[in-house]
Structure 1
Amino acid sequence: MQPRYDNHKLTGAWLLDHYQIAGQHGQPVLLWGGNASGILIYTDNGYMSVQVSNNDRPAFAQNDFLAGEPDEIRSAFEGYTAYFGRYDYKETNGYVNHHVQQSIFPNWNGVTHTRFVTLDNDKLILGTPPISIKGESCTMQMYWKRID
């Protein structure tokens, strides 16, 4: 199968270098704490997967992921973002569309997320249009480094 649009420029695995979120008045917002890591994978046949985690999420008291206390579950959920699905990228448009099939946040299932692309060799910046974070309109920039 031929890559769709210009997908080959994004194809590969990317590690999160850092991120910036600006609130509606320009103030910084921390979503995954100050110590986040993540991976973004684009395949040459149009699939993608994104995972971002707060590295300081506390472990559950029990070693059973279905036996967490409500505060443990909330902390684990709020400190992690993950979704996968299809994507398309047309370099001349300057954006990539993430067509989410499944997400840890079920409201994103079946939704398309548009990300503005700045690509410079092994560095990728994905920016968002205004999104709601904790009830506030924010914009996000995610800085990725190619690892393959």
Structure 2
Amino acid sequence: MNNANPFTGTWALAEWSVTHTPSGYVHYPFNGNADGHLIYTDNGWVSATLMEKDRKHVPQDRHRLVAARMLLNPPKDAPKQDLDIDAQQQKDIDDLMERFCLASMGYITYCGPFEVNNDEVQHHIKNSLVPQWVGTTLARKFDISDNRLTLSTNEGEFSDKLVWQRIA
């Protein structure tokens, strides 16, 4: 561990809760079935992953994946094609898209440089599964004690708290 920066290292998710502040109701994202890792490097970068455990597997048939992506988002320079898709092929594509949608809704990831200012750590997002986070800063209040890192933020009526355990 880099003693100059207490963040440096690998952290495993121990708890994630979201509180609806007005009512005090506490919710556990992914039905409390979450896993994740947070990695802070000694050169000032952070990589975060959170996921719902036991997500349904998604097909790995590359041909079907490319076909579905071409239907959803054809390249701008691709010639216009009328694809002759029968009902079964359309059902397969719809199933594929649903599975990928559910898989991605159960996964959060981002990375970028970070900095610490007083009692706040700021993650400057360079890459993210959530497109609108790219180029933004996620600011979190923090507390580090006994190899545990607690990050919290308030957004509107909700308060997120993530507790991480140092593993390396």
Q: Same fold (TM over 0.5)?
A: yes
In the other structure, the counterpart of 2:31 is 33
Flag the structure with higher helix content.
Answer: 2
Counterpart residue type for residue 146 of structure 1: R
**Structure 1, unaligned stretches of length 5 or more?**
132-136
Higher strand share: 1
| TM-superposed deviation, 1:28 | 2.3
| Pair member with larger Rg | 2
1:143 counterpart = 2:163: yes
Partner of 1:78: 105
**Other structure's SS at 1:107 match:** helix
Aligned pair count reads: 136
Gaps of at least 5 residues in structure 2 are 69-94
* Change beyond 3 A, Cα 1:40–1:84: same
Correspondence 1:1-148 to 2 at 5 A: 8-24=5-21, 25-60=23-58, 62-64=59-61, 66=65, 69-90=96-117, 93-130=118-155, 137-148=157-168
For residues 36-85 of structure 1, the C-alpha deviation after alignment (integer angstroms, 9 at most, x for no partner) is 1100000111100000000021112x224736622211211110000000
Letter in 1 for 2:43: N
Matched with 2:77 is none
- Quick one: distance in 2 between partners of 1:112 and 1:97? 6
Return the alpha-carbon distance in structure 2 between the equivalents of residues 142 and 7 of structure 1. Answer: 23
Q: Is the 8 A contact 2:17 2:29 kept in 1?
A: no
**Amino acid of the residue matched to residue 6 of structure 2?**
K
